[in-house]
């Protein structure tokens, strides 16, 4: 091969490499960040990575629309939501609901069966009782607790898949989706971003997080901080981090009593209610679940908080592609992990 042909060949190779570099080089990706948005009674944040700013913005908007939809359907604070209608009329008649609400209720029953009732969305009467106790600054009486407990139980929730309806078997029941709706909203938001053309993205609703695809900041993975309960401070991202988790495609949810709790007569009670004891869950300050979906992570974080370290870890070890990082209650704050959790922990800066 003569020198001229060699130069032409080298030029072609260099040209192809430059085109490939421009196509794959991370700088070609554009990032958009929604900032913190107040929704579902907490703060939500969406980050999108896309080929151009227009697509990135569209992904952010699509994700926020899905989150609002879930809130409109499933908030028990909105009087016109489907869940509020079920809570009002569910004993008198079968209430037809949307496919999304029915799906969440159906998944809730599955988690209730899997966890032996540690996760139970019918715990509403007990949640209401303890909220009232906090307002009155008086611990509920045994009779009040027994009465509320009699109206709790996923076994009393009647779902009809053909009619897409829900009904209560006992008067005074009330659904509380606080342990699963945020995770479901995260999953729906992620799906919307993927449909809208995102190359990567992250959705965070009150600590329920899911990431996928190309990470922001030209990093190798998405990084999720886990707060140190012994140094927690109120507010967004308050306090110090205990560790960082690295994710590529996955979800993380954390439940704990170090920021959310019920204060009655000077004593802190977990906002996560154990239907068997009719009181706040005890023994764990923080429960973090890593799973494929935020719905799973959210529900399992609630369940393990109720089950405790020993039973909770035993359950998570049986579920594929799912890990747990637990921190025991004060004053020890002992870190406990499932066997596969270590691979998600980032050890270098």
Task: Note the maximum CA span of the chain.
Answer: 98
Q: What is the pLDDT of residue 138?
A: 74
Strands 261-264 and 279-280: unpaired
- pLDDT tens track for 225-264: 998 877 654 555 556 788 999 999 999 999 876 556 666 6
The CA distance from 306 to 300, in Å, is: 10
The residue ranges of DSSP E strands in the chain, in sequence order, are 30-33, 37-39, 42-50, 95-96, 157-160, 165-168, 200-205, 208-213, 222-227, 241-247, 250-256, 261-264, 267-270, 273-274, 279-280, 284-291, 323-328, 335-337, 345-346
The CA distance from 332 to 338, in Å, is: 19
- pLDDT tens track for 188-225: 999 999 999 999 999 999 999 999 999 998 889 999 99
- Can you give the pTM of this predicted structure? 0.88
- pLDDT tens track for 101-112: 999 999 999 999
Structural domain spans, the chain: 77-168
For CA atoms 299, 110, 188, 123, give the dihedral sign. Answer: negative
Average pLDDT, the chain: 87
Q: What is the pLDDT of residue 137?
A: 74
Question: Residue 2: enclosing H or E segment and its boundaries?
Answer: none
Q: Omega into 331 within 30° of 0, i.e. cis? A: yes
Structural contact between residues 302 and 155, judged by C-beta atoms closer than 8 angstroms: no
Quote the CATH superfamily of domain 77-168.
Answer: ApbE-like superfamily (1.10.3980.10)
């Amino acid at each position: 091969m003569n020198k001229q042909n060699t130069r032409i060949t080298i030029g072609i190779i260099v040209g192809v490499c430059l085109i490939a570099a421009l196509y794959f080089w991370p700088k070609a990706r554009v990032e958009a960040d929604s900032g913190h948005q107040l929704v579902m009674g907490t703060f939500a944040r969406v980050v999108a990575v896309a080929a151009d700013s227009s697509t990135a913005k569209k992904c952010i908007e699509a994700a926020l629309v899905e989150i609002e939809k879930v809130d409109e359907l499933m908030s028990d604070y909105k009087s016109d939501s489907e869940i509020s209608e079920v809570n009002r009329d569910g004993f008198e008649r079968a209430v037809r609901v949307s496919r999304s609400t029915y799906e969440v209720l159906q998944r809730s029953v599955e988690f209730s069966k899997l966890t032996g009732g540690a996760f139970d969305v019918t715990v509403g009467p007990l949640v209401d009782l303890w909220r009232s106790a906090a307002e009155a600054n008086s611990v509920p009486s045994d009779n009040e607790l027994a009465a509320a407990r009699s109206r709790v139980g996923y076994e009393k929730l009647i779902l009809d898949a053909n009619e897409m309806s829900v009904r209560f078997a006992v008067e005074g029941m009330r659904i509380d989706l606080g342990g699963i709706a945020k995770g479901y909203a995260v999953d729906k938001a992620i799906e919307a971003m993927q449909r809208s053309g995102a190359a990567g993205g992250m959705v965070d609703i009150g600590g329920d997080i899911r990431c996928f695809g190309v990470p922001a900041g030209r990093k190798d993975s998405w990084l999720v901080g886990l707060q140190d309960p012994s140094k927690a401070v109120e507010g967004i991202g308050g306090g110090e981090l205990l560790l960082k988790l690295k994710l590529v495609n996955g979800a993380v949810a954390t439940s704990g009593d170090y920021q959310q709790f019920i204060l009655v007569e000077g004593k802190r009670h977990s906002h996560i209610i154990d239907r068997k004891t009719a009181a706040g869950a005890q023994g764990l300050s923080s429960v973090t679940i890593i799973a494929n979906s935020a719905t799973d992570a959210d529900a399992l974080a609630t369940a393990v908080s109720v089950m405790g370290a020993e039973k909770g870890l035993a359950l998570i070890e049986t579920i594929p592609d799912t890990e747990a990082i637990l921190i025991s209650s004060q004053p020890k704050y002992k870190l406990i992990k499932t066997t596969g959790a270590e691979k998600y922990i980032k050890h270098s800066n």
